[in-house]
Chains A and B, each alone.
Chain A
Amino acid sequence: MKRPLRQFLVAMLCLMSFSAIGQRTLSGKVTASSTGETLIGVNILIKGSTTGTVTDFDGNYTLEIPSNDVILILSYTGFATKEVPVGTASELDVSLDEGSEVLDEVLVVGYGTQKRGDVTTAISSINGEDIGQLPVASVELAMQGRAAGVNISSSSGQPGAALKVQIRGATSITASSEPLYVVDGIPMTSDNNSSLFTGGYNFNSMADINPDDIESIDILKDASAAAIYGSRGANGVVLITTKRGKSGKGKIEFDTYFGTQAPAKVIEMMNSAEFINMMNEASANDGYIDNWFSDPNSFNFIGDPDDPELINTDWYDEILRDDAPISNYSLSASGGSDKFSYYVNGSYFDQDGFQKGTSFNRMSARTNLDAQVNDVLKIGTNVMISRSDSKSTVGDNSLYGVMINALAADPTMPVQQEDGTYSDPFSYFSWWAFENPRAATDIYQRNTFTNRFLGSVFAELSIAPGLKFRTSWSADYQNLEDQLFYPSTTLQAIRGGITGLGQYASAETITWLNENTLNYNFDFGTPHNLSILAGFTMQETDQDFVDITGENFANDNLGAIALAADITNGSTQGTSWGLISYLARANYNFDNKYYLTASIRTDGSSRFGDESRYGVFPSVSASWRVSSEPFLANSDWLYDLKLRASWGLTGNQDGINNFASRALWTSAVNYNGAAGTSPSRMGNADLGWESTSQYDIGFDLSLFDGRVNLTVDYFDKRTTDLLLNSNVPGFSGFTTVTRNIGEVKNVGWEFALNTVNFQTSGGFRWSTNFNISTIENEITRLEQDGELQGTTHILKQGYPLGTFNLIRWEGIDPETGNSIFTDTNGDGAINSGDATIVEENGKALTVWPDFFGGITNTFSYKGFDLSVFFQYSSGNYLWNHSRYAQEQVGWSFNFGGFFLPYGNNTKRVEEERWRQPGDVTDIPRAGLGYVFDDDGNVVGEYQNWQEDSDQWLEDASFIRLKTLEFGYNLPKNLMTKIGLSSSKVYFRGQNLWTSTKYLGVDPEVSSNGESVTRPGEDFGGLGQPRTLIFGIKIGI
């Protein structure tokens, strides 16, 4: 470790002995070559330095230049970047040609930037303008459907919930398959640090970032791009760049939007009369009387279906709202001079969930400053602070959860009793309801407060022409606080025999990061271009957790943990890890025709075992601009064609426990009041990173002066040394050891097509962005082949992650109305032993789509613009656990003589269920599940109820109108009169329309969060909201 560092420092010091030469002043004017108009705000930079300026309102500039041999680089949005040698001139006018924006677009590539035209790797970019004002809490939600190869799904509509983000497929079984997020160079903590049980979703640390602040998102997809992030790059890297001030007149912008959200779909349920009639029918079907549940003298009396006073509660209506407000206010100021620039933003985002009792709000502020201290030194800072409050009820999957209980709630149960108390579901007619759903939304209190600080200071030193040293010191600090209080009136308290339950938990995470890089642009004179980057970085993360639970509170309104009469549990925990890295990259191109990039990173991580502490991650990529070859150079339709190929090695170490490699004993055990110790982890000194080798071939094609741009990539991504909690024989005293074992493969195609379809001189413009991707996932090697994941999934070699393994349902016997299941193993019983992998046309069904993507059409005319964005996904399956509960009509629970149905039943059951011989349907006959004698005594049982079968496995392909926006830019002259520089008003709709065969609320939900081993299960999931907003953007 010592030697590389020393060499690095020596090299650094040697390079500094270069020095600068004399100076003089240069001035001139910049114009557009086509029209001769002066251009305001053109960026002018002395090549190989950070010295530069911008043109003023008249297109003029002045610049101190060090010598005669300098070359100026002029860049301006919508124009081709131009390099002009200065020579001896003291005045220099330049005219710029309008050109492709695409090729000159600057991409952030990890420890640097590159022009799109020079990039040799697969990178998708999203412009901040496209996502800044979307009515969503976090940036990943805004990225959905916008980049090829990036599959993002929203597990839960809970405001502030984490999303499942996969770039080029899931690579890992136990470690994370989520990408690395890097904000202005700082790798973000993106884990869920909340201690609250949430069931189907996780809290999202990325929601601390305000999407308004984002200038651009660059997604490093192939290994060559991501290898510079070494042992954290295997799942791709999302580089988020925030806005910075630009030289020129100061701008003040005020953006706001406000609107409402509603559930996009609500499952229709039976009313009480239908419910009682169905129960009667069940009794009659089982050979007993047909008015058992409506006869007032009967033991099983529920109600009279014809009674006009019959209580009829629509539980979904009770817990959901279709006017949940959402709003955002953002005020920013930016600007600067040639020496100093600033961007300052303050924002407030406030979202109530469409499920009552949930909300998310966030206050955030950001200051980004850049200052040119003198000729050689530039310094700057990025600082973000935010505070968010996420309010939730009881988690999706919890016994006491809102949606789960609404699945089962009895329609004849009133919300409240006459005395105002919430009705107790145990006094009504459903089996597994644990709580009154309205009580769950109203009186269960859970808040998670997060304070986040993300900041860095940096200095850039121009040591010599072309040679730059940069150092930055950054911190990512998150302080998260959970407060939970279930007052004495909650059933969780009542049934636990306590007067209230409280929890206080906190998690403090601090990461510090130091990065030092040296950049050298060699200037051989054309046609050779070479730049080299070398760097050294280190970072350390410390986490501290506190978790206290208490019981018995005197007051139902105050739930602070200090007021608990009994503290039942109190624990603290702490953990840490560190990473030291050396990195280097060289970019070479010959005549802007042949490009070669190579990079290498060495990561040492404290997480790895003693035997494999350092990992090396090389990559290489090349591209050939075919269009610059003489045989194509004169083509009038071909604008640009570049062929690319890359290979690289990346790693994954996220998701491994910080001390997974070491044998450990915990001291958190006790017996009979004495504290003890016990082995807690089996050690493995060989433990290392997951290794992903990926090659990518592709091309970028641009036609008709850049009006048609097509990018095509094929990738083959093989992950080996999978970090697995590999089973060890039980007699070892442990269940698992973390080992590098197992292999996963992802291959796929990505197409992105951006076109300007129609453009008139009158100002009408129609453009389309389209992307489509395929990813095929396969587990190629497993140690424990065929390991079941719960009762619905399996991990099996030759099959994708998340493969469904289910009992096979053959349908409903039209004669009896009973479900028929396949006794696969022929043992005469239907049980988990009959489950098999569900395949169709030789392909295992999973939640992973065959293809997915998005299409945006944008129309603009004068000040109007209309943008229509569809997201789609095809061939993805979901196991509808909600229907498993709600369409179960062949069984009841014999509760001491009462027959309680399994769950509340859907309207679909009312309309579709089997009623008489000959009915062909997919819902069995109503039944209580018992055989009765003439007096209603149970004399037998039958099995007609639900199994973990493919009866509930549904095609969840969808196409969704994700965003529809109609905006109007108020005329400039009008604005000038009232003192504004710009103003825009817009309407925007989110998730307005979805076409899917899926019968649940939303084809994207998952009850298992971001899990890749049990994905695609929907048990009381909350879908994404349908949102309508009105927004105003004012610039001063």
Chain B
Amino acid sequence: MRTIHKFKLTLFLLGCLLYSTSCEVLDQSPQQDITPDIAFQSEKAARAALVGLYNGLQSGDYYGAYFPYTSDNYADVSIFLGFFTGFNEVDDKNIPSSNLNVELIWLQAFETINIANEIIDNVPAIEENGFDQAEKDEIIAAAKCIRALCYLDLLTHYGEHWDESSAFGLPLITKSTGGDFANVEFVPRNTVAETYDFILADLLDAEKSLPDSDDRTVASLGLAQALLARTYLHKGEYANAITKTTAVIDNSNYALLDNYADIFSSDLSGESIFELAYNSLDPSDLALYTIRRDEVRPDPALIASFEEGDARAELIAPVDGFVGDRFIKAEDFGNDENPAYIIRMAEMYLARAEAKFLSGDTDGALEDLNAVRTRAGLDAHTSSDDFVDKLLNEIRWEFFAEGQRFRALVRLGKAEEVLGLQTFQRIYPIPFRELNIEGNQMAQNPGY
């Protein structure tokens, strides 16, 4: 009997122990991750989110490889020699809506837009001594600038950007969800005109608050203006395009380098308006595809198209250990530290040339075109005959492996003629996954 009493006591103590422990078992918290409220509790946290925004652009699915290479493979700039069905379908100029590249680019661009939305919505509410309104405005302006970059990339590849009356723009997401599924609204596509308006509004806001800085790795006044120029050009507002390109060209932070190869032989050259920095701990996939996997190759037609003496052709050359030519717009492709060139001075000159030509100033257009052309060691064009073809050639030679040729061909109405595409193929299909989500109102692009 007495033993039993002792056990009663033991059991009682055991019970107390269980009782105190059990309360904690279900209360687990993540060790690596933070909750959305902590993500915006201070200035430091807000700046960390801005870092996350640039990190979004860096992804291999976006500027880290897929965005420029998919676009160039679709055009007559590069070819793909490898297994990936996603690239092969693009290369075959027959992109089904199930195409993986088109899906990954779409998702990554919106992932980046979402980070921007979180910043834009949450930063104003942060209350911290020393975190003043001007600092907040600058962070928000950077987020709007990057959001506009993403929307313009999407519009020029997934939306009918050549036709402002088209209903096939993009869904415009203006509110953050806090990462909560319950807050996701299933909205339809906005029109192309609405999409342009949204992009322009963001960029004009950004232009107001971004500093005129020569830090080319982040959003600056120059980037906002350069993107405004790019947007106006696509939209067909040539006077505005000329104003903005001129503003950038006249900005002493930027210059057209004398030597084309210098742009790529060191990071952060004066040519760059915005380039994404990578380092060995944060590598890009750019050289992975062109060199190590050895799959994204120069289109033989591109190599054949260069004029004699074009310095740009020298950046397509053999690499040790490989037979044949590779894209080598890189300082050192072994270390994956090469930047992604998003927008640089040559584009401003060619954009102004295009805007001038289309608004009737053929001499001015020729002058800007020749600035880029003679820099590469070629003789200046003297005639503005076939100007559009000349311009498109320069874009092809100047920006190979940078993903600029395709949307220029579409913008100038040459995609069908040059690439042999059917009219509906001037843009990518909306990824099949989007159409297959219960309740999603996304409409497929006509023809797909």
Q: Which residues of A contact B (CB under 8 A)?
A: 1-2, 5-6, 9, 12-13, 16, 19, 374, 376-377, 426, 461, 463, 469, 471, 495-497, 514, 516, 536, 538-540, 566, 568-569, 573-580, 604-606, 613, 658-659, 662-685, 727-735, 737, 739, 783-788, 791, 827, 829, 831-833, 893, 895-896, 898, 948
Contacts and interface: CB of A to CB of B under 8 A. Distances in A.
A664 B30 contact: yes
Highest count of chain A CB atoms <10 Å: which of B179, B187, B218: B179
Given A13-B11, A538-B22, A784 B1 contact: no
Interface stretch (B226-234, B279-287, B346-354): B279-287
A679 B118 contact: yes
A783 to B, nearest CB: 5
Contact of B181 (A9, A683, A898): A683
Contacts of B54: 671-672, 676
26 contacts: A1-B22, A1-B26, A6-B19, A13-B11, A16-B4, A16-B8, A426-B321, A496-B334, A497-B335, A539-B25, A576-B28, A664-B33, A664-B34, A665-B33, A669-B51, A669-B52, A671-B52, A679-B115, A679-B179, A683-B181, A684-B180, A684-B181, A727-B437, A731-B110, A733-B177, A735-B111
A426 B321 CA distance: 9
B11 A670 contact: no
A376 B8 CA distance: 12
B261 to A, nearest CB: 21
Given A496-B334, A540-B25, A783-B437, 16 more contacts: A463-B4, A538-B22, A573-B31, A578-B27, A663-B36, A672-B51, A674-B48, A675-B51, A678-B49, A678-B55, A679-B179, A682-B179, A734-B114, A735-B107, A832-B89, A893-B81
Given A496-B334, A832-B85, A671 B118 contact: no
A1006 B177 CA distance: 40
Contacts of A785: 436
Given A664-B30, A669-B52, A728-B181, A9 B15 contact: yes
Contacts of A734: 111, 114, 179
Contacts of A376: 3-4, 7
Contact of A670 (B26, B30, B282, B431): B282
7 closest A-B pairs by CB: A733-B114, A676-B51, A663-B179, A678-B52, A578-B25, A896-B323, A574-B31
Contacts of B30: 575, 658-659, 662, 664
B125 interface: no
A384 to B, nearest CB: 25
Contact of A727 (B15, B182, B433): B433
B133 interface: no
Interface of B: 1, 3-4, 7-8, 11-12, 14-15, 18-19, 21-28, 30-36, 38-39, 45, 47-56, 58, 81, 85, 89, 92, 94, 96, 98, 106-107, 110-111, 113-115, 117-118, 171, 173, 177-182, 184, 186-187, 217-218, 277, 279-282, 292, 321, 323-324, 334-335, 431, 433-434, 436-438, 440, 442
A791 to B, nearest CB: 6
Contacts of A676: 48-55
A673 B279 contact: yes
A937 B424 CA distance: 35
A731 B113 contact: yes
Contacts, number: 270
A939 to B, nearest CB: 13
A678 B179 contact: no
A4 to B, nearest CB: 10
Contacts of A791: 85
Given A426-B321, A580-B26, A831-B92, A19 B31 contact: no
A576 B36 contact: no
B28 A658 contact: yes
A672 B178 CA distance: 26
A731 B292 contact: no
B184 A514 contact: no
A672 B25 contact: no
Contact of B114 (A6, A516, A732, A895): A732
Contacts of A669: 51-52, 55
A532 to B, nearest CB: 19
Contacts of B32: 573-575, 666-668
A613 B28 CA distance: 13
A729 B434 contact: yes
Contact of A832 (B39, B96, B113, B180): B96
Contact of B437 (A568, A729, A833, A898): A729
A831 B1 CA distance: 82
A1 B21 CA distance: 12
Contacts of B438: 783-784
B92 A829 contact: yes
A655 to B, nearest CB: 17
B51 A671 contact: yes
B26 A605 contact: yes
B92 A579 contact: no
A66 to B, nearest CB: 13
B105 to A, nearest CB: 10
B283 to A, nearest CB: 9
Contacts of B182: 684-685
Nearest to B335: A497
Contacts of B106: 730
A745 B281 CA distance: 46
Nearest to A544: B31
B164 to A, nearest CB: 21
A658 B436 CA distance: 28
Contacts of B49: 676-678
A575 B31 contact: yes
A739 B181 contact: yes
A576 B85 contact: no
A673 B92 CA distance: 39
Contacts of B11: 12-13, 16, 461, 469
A729 B188 CA distance: 11
B96 to A, nearest CB: 4
B33 A672 contact: no
Nearest to A829: B94
A785 B96 CA distance: 17
A579 B25 CA distance: 6
Contacts of A679: 36, 39, 52, 111, 114-115, 118, 179
Contacts of A948: 85
Given A727-B433, A787-B436, A569 B51 contact: no
Contacts of B39: 665, 677, 679
B28 A670 contact: no
A496 B292 CA distance: 8
A677 B7 contact: no
A568 B4 CA distance: 62
B26 A569 contact: no
B321 A677 contact: no
A667 B48 contact: yes
Contact of A613 (B26, B33, B114): B26
Nearest to B323: A896
Contacts of A784: 433, 436-438
B3 A374 contact: yes
A469 B15 CA distance: 13
B56 to A, nearest CB: 7
A69 B171 CA distance: 82
Nearest to A6: B19
Contacts of B21: 514, 538
Contacts of B178: 663
A681 B179 contact: yes
Given A1-B22, A605-B26, A670-B282, A12 B114 contact: no
Highest count of chain B CB atoms <10 Å: which of A1, A575, A604, A731: A731
Contact of A663 (B14, B117, B180, B217): B180
Contacts of A668: 32
A734 B56 CA distance: 12
B40 to A, nearest CB: 9
A606 to B, nearest CB: 4
